[in-house]
């Protein structure tokens, strides 16, 4: 069996007047993330990790922020298409390990729903998707609540 590992990172600015999407679900919060799509940093980091593992560049290459087609796009669509892209090269997802960095809102209560949502999109067991959440102890842009970031590692295997 051939396995490969990829790493992903994403960050978006918090702004008023936008919905906050994380892991494919909408969270109640006074601010949302600014971006060309729905700005779901968790899914974006995961997609970059998956694409990187398959040596298929990044989501900006496949889903450019200059395209009218991707304007306001639901990141679950990006995730589904990412899985289809790696399948075209003969790969399937092994597992994901991801971390969300945010001061507010608290992410931990929403993690099981995020896992379920993304597992449905990917067509995998929720146990293949590990999500953790942390703060930056009020340090940096995350600590000042100017933005949210996410890191992800994905393992893929040749079918």
Q: Give the SS3 label for residue 42.
A: helix
Report, in this order, helix, strand and coil percent for the chain, each rounded to 5.
35, 30, 35
Residue 12 annotated in ligand binding:
yes
Return the structure tokens found at 74.
């639901």
DSSP 8-class letter at 127: G
Residue 60 annotated in ligand binding:
yes
Residue 11 annotated in ligand binding:
yes
Dihedral of CA atoms 47, 149, 9, 131 in degrees, nearest 10, equals -60
Alpha carbon distance 146, 159 (integer Å) = 41
Residue 137 annotated in ligand binding:
yes
Residue 66 annotated in ligand binding:
no
Residue 36 annotated in ligand binding:
yes
> What residues contact 69, with CB distance under 8 A and at least 6 apart?
none
Confirm if 79 and 47 have CB atoms less than 8 A apart: yes
On the CB side of 2, CA atoms within 13 Å amount to 7
Residue 74 annotated in ligand binding:
no
Residue 141 annotated in ligand binding:
yes
Residues flagged as binding site = 10-12, 36-37, 44, 58-60, 134-137, 141, 144
Residues flagged as binding site for a divalent metal cation = 10, 12, 44
């Amino acid at each position: 069996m051939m396995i490969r590992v990829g790493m992903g990172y994403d960050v978006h600015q918090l702004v008023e007047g936008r919905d906050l999407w994380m892991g494919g679900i909408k969270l109640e919060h006074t601010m949302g993330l600014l971006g060309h799509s729905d700005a779901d940093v968790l899914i974006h980091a995961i997609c970059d990790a998956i694409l990187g593992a398959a040596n298929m560049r990044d989501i900006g290459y496949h889903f450019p922020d200059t395209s009218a087609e991707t304007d306001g796009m639901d990141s679950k669509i990006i995730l589904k298409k990412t899985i289809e892209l790696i399948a075209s090269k003969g790969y399937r997802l092994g597992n994901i390990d991801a971390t969300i960095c945010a001061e507010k809102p608290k992410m931990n209560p929403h993690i099981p729903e995020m896992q379920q949502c993304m597992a449905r999109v990917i067509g995998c067991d929720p146990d293949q998707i590990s999500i953790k959440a942390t703060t930056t102890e009020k340090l940096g842009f995350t600590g000042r609540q100017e933005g949210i970031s996410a890191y992800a590692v994905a393992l893929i295997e040749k079918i």
